[in-house]
Structure 1
Amino acid sequence: MPNIVLSRVDERLVHGQVGVQWVGFAGANLVIVANDEVANDQIQQSLMEMVLAEGIGIRFWSLQKVIETIGKAADRQKILLVAKSPADFVTLVEGGVPIQKLNIGNMHYAEGKRQIHKTVSVDDRDIDSLRALQSLGVSCQVQGVPTETATDVFTLL
Structure 2
Amino acid sequence: MEKPNILLGRIDNRLVHGQVGVSWTNYLGANLIIVADDEVAQNEIQQEIMEMVAMTSSADIRFFSIQDTIDLIWNAAPEQKIFIITKTPKEMRALIDNNVPIEQVNVGNMHFSEGKRQISQKVFVDDEDMENLHAMQEKGVRVYIQEIPGKLEEALK
Structural mapping, 1:2-21, within 5 Å? 2-21=4-23
Asked whether the equivalents of residues 26 and 57 of structure 2 are also in contact (C-alpha less than 8 Å), the reply is no
Shift of 1:82: 0.3
- Residue 118 in structure 1 maps to residue 121 in structure 2: yes
Q: Which residue of 2 aligns with 1:35?
A: 37
Between the aligned partners of 2:126 and 2:140, the Cα distance in structure 1 is 21
Q: Measured at CA, do residues 123 and 54 of structure 1 come closer, stay the same or move farther in structure 2, by a change above 3 Å?
A: closer
After TM superposition, the score normalised by the length of structure 2 is: 0.95
Shift of 1:121: 0.4
Counterpart residue identity of residue 109, structure 2: N
Q: Which runs of at least 4 in structure 1 moved beyond 6 Å after TM superposition?
A: none
Between the aligned partners of 1:4 and 1:140, the Cα distance in structure 2 is 15
Shift of 1:54: 6.1
Between the aligned partners of 2:69 and 2:141, the Cα distance in structure 1 is 18
Gaps of 5+ in 1: none
> CA deviation digits over 1:26-50, x for unaligned, max 9?
0000000000000000000001001
2:132 corresponds, among 125, 129, 136, to 129
Q: Which residue of 2 aligns with 1:51?
A: 53
Counterpart residue identity of residue 26, structure 1: L
SS for the counterpart of 1:108 is coil
SS for the counterpart of 1:110 is coil
Counterpart residue identity of residue 9, structure 1: I
Q: Which residue of 2 aligns with 1:99?
A: 102
SS for the counterpart of 1:7 is strand
> CA deviation digits over 1:3-27, x for unaligned, max 9?
1111100000000110110000000
Shift of 1:152: 1.3
> CA deviation digits over 1:46-91, x for unaligned, max 9?
0100112263100000000010001110111000100001111110
RMSD of aligned residue pairs (Cα, Å)? 0.9
- Residue 148 in structure 1 maps to residue 136 in structure 2: no
Between the aligned partners of 2:131 and 2:32, the Cα distance in structure 1 is 30
Q: Which residue of 2 aligns with 1:62?
A: 65
Q: Measured at CA, do residues 54 and 135 of structure 1 come closer, stay the same or move farther in structure 2, by a change above 3 Å?
A: closer
SS for the counterpart of 1:104 is strand
Counterpart residue identity of residue 6, structure 1: L
SS for the counterpart of 1:133 is helix
Between the aligned partners of 1:131 and 1:57, the Cα distance in structure 2 is 31
